[in-house]
Amino acid sequence: MLRIGLIGVTALSVVAGRLDGQATAGQQWLGPQARDALGSLAGLEGLSGLEVLSGLDALAGLEALRALETWNPFEDGVRDPTELAAQQRDPADSIYRVARQALSNGDYQSAAAQFEQVWSRYPRSDYAGDAMYWAAFALHRIGGTRNLAVGLQLLVRQGELYPDARTRRDARGLATRIQGDLARLGDPTAAESIAVLAAPPARPAAVTPPPGAAPARAPTPPAPARPPRSPQPAQPAQAPQACEPDEDAELRLEALSALLQMDAERAVPILREVLRRRDPCSVELRRRAVFLVSQKRDELTEETLLTAARQDPDREVRAQAVFWLSQVNTERAVAALDSILMGSDDRDVQEKAIFALSQHKSERAGEILRRYVERADRPDELKEKAIFWLGQHRSPQNQAFLRDLYPQLTSEQLKEQVIQAVSQVRGPEAARWLLDLARNANEPVEMRKKALFWAGQKREVSMQDLAGLYEAMPDRELKEQLIFAYSQRREPEAVDKLMSIAETEPDRELRKKAVFWLGQSKDPRAAEFLLRLINR
């Protein structure tokens, strides 16, 4: 009892610190007994139930949005030390640094003014050309017709005066984005420029063979690649080393992004033409084109994404096309996703198909996921994802299916996922199922602990029901889980139960845990109880 009393001193000091708004001061009272009590937290595994949030991995498909980031405004690359030393002696160095700091702080107006000082005062500075680019960048961020027009003029001047500037390549992309913004603001010249840039390159004219020459034979197409027999780890496709960066193609995609906002009917056919390419050097372009196509919702979008998902030779293009099919709410898209899910050997593509199906509200999409979970020949990792998303769609069919599925499962990982999925649904039926599972002595202790954790989080489970479980649980681990569950409840009855355990529980370690959690309570009765415990 002396040891419990000492822990009570520690807990009481924490309570006093919290009530006085001096939690830090309260912690200074911690002695060895308090550290023992804190160490008891290591046994609380209830929070491990939150690991199921890993089911959100399917949202990794949103990485396609990064396709718009064609440049990094704060990455200058690694330069030769002698060049850095020379720039530090550059008379414009201090102004340039101040301007870059203003840019980093989001003070674009000040940054633009400081960058202007660089090239106007020191036109021979190594910083002058880059300063023009960053001034245009800052003006683009500020926005408005006048700022955009000035920024565009600066980029033109940079090309004329400083063609070898490090930022020259990035300047072409920035100019295209500025023209797109100007076009959306009604600038006809910018709109015309965007339309010209977005147009596909002219096809080479057919060459007429000389008289008597044998007709050229079409090359024999290569045999189609066979899919691997088993799922392989995702490897990003890389273009062959012989592929040179196609700056014109990148600019066309920038222009197409702007054109898509202005005149989608003209942009989509051009994007479809990009996606019809199969040469290895167009891989990066096709990846970006998939995202752009997905932003226009019509029949052409559906057809284009379906074709890319089924036929593109690049696995990332296929995976992203499958992901964006989640936004195409048609039965045809659902049927295609079903075929891809059941027929693909690519884990990443399968996972994105599961996510895409989960976003469709049709009953058929739910049936496909339920059927997938029941199949014994599907990997548990993917079935776990499907169970997670079924739990997010709180239909009566899904909930009944999950409750019926649980006793058929042998994998504890899948069982845990079902418990979490059922817990996401409000209502007495789900609450009753969790409590029944916690009471079931035939279930593994770990599963019963998970059920107790999630039951304790549900408002539909009364504190009276939780309190009644303590005496009915002979297992020490389950009682420990219940003590934690009581500590998370806000009802006065939860504090009553913890005080009762701290006072009457025969197991000394369980009493310590109850005292510790009373020390975390904001209920003034907990402080009074701990004081009485100390004075015994």
Residues 118-128 have pLDDT tens digits of 999 999 999 99
Asked whether 289 and 253 are in contact (CB, 8 A), the reply is: yes
Q: What is the pLDDT of residues 253-268, one digit of tens each?
A: 677 677 667 766 777 7
| Mean pLDDT of the 393-397 span | 84
**Half-sphere exposure of residue 420: CA atoms within 13 angstroms, side-chain side:** 23
Q: Decide: helix, strand or coil at residue 132.
A: helix
Sign of CA dihedral 516, 517, 521, 527: negative
Does residue 212 have a pLDDT over 50?
no
Q: How confident is the model at residue 90 (pLDDT cuts 50, 70, 90)?
A: confident
Per-residue pLDDT at 7: 52
d(CA 165, CA 443): 69
Per-residue pLDDT at 23: 39
Domain 95-202+246-262 carries which CATH code? 1.25.40.10
Q: How confident is the model at residue 133 (pLDDT cuts 50, 70, 90)?
A: very high
Asked whether 115 and 84 are in contact (CB, 8 A), the reply is: no
Per-residue pLDDT at 282: 85
Give backbone dihedrals phi and psi of 427, rounded to 5 degrees, phi first.
135, 155
Contacts of 128 (CB under 8 A, 6+ apart): 92, 118, 119, 122, 161, 162
Per-residue pLDDT at 417: 94
d(CA 117, CA 103): 15
Give backbone dihedrals phi and psi of 215, rounded to 5 degrees, phi first.
-65, 145
Per-residue pLDDT at 191: 66
Q: What is the pLDDT of residues 287-330, one digit of tens each?
A: 888 888 888 777 788 889 999 999 999 999 999 999 999 989 89
Q: Does pTM top 0.75 for this prediction?
A: no
**Which carries the bigger pLDDT value, residue 318 or residue 230?**
318
Does residue 62 have a pLDDT over 60?
no
**Which carries the bigger pLDDT value, residue 351 or residue 73?**
351
**What is the number of other CB atoms lying within 10 angstroms of the CB of residue 305?**
24
Q: Whole-angstrom distance between the N-terminal and C-terminal Cα of the chain?
A: 9
Percent of the chain at pLDDT > 90 equals 51
Domain ranges of the chain: 95-202+246-262
d(CA 132, CA 149): 14
Does residue 238 have a pLDDT over 70?
no
Per-residue pLDDT at 271: 84
Residue 329: alpha-carbon gap to chain centroid: 22
